[in-house]
Amino acid sequence: MVETETATGPVIVERRSSGGGLLIGLVLLIAVIVGAVYLINQNNRENIKTNAVTSAAESVGDAAKDVGGAAKDAAKKID
């Protein structure tokens, strides 16, 4: 409340907020939370993909070792 003095008497001006700023702030907060959840989920999905590729690569490596061992055994039998 602002009070000023004039020649005819005091003038009182009341300022009231409509709450628009609070609403905008709430909407922005919700948007930030939704964005954070999305980014966390995206990161988790990438980690799952990376782990799957790593596991597949290890399986291929193990299979290659088995094939190499079988080839060595076959070569020894031929000699």
- Residue spans of the domains in the chain: they are 2-78
Question: What percent of the chain clears pLDDT 70, i.e. is strictly above it?
Answer: 89
What's the pLDDT band for 42 if we cut at 50, 70, 90? very high
11 and 4 in contact (C-beta within 8 Å)?
yes
In the chain, % of residues over pLDDT 90: 42
pTM equals 0.49
Give the model confidence (pLDDT) of 50-74 as tens digits: 999 999 999 998 888 888 888 888 8
Which residues have CB under 8 Å from 14's CB, separation 6+?
Answer: 1
Q: Judge whether residue 6 has pLDDT over 70.
A: no
- The region of weakest confidence among 10-14, 18-22, 24-28 is 10-14
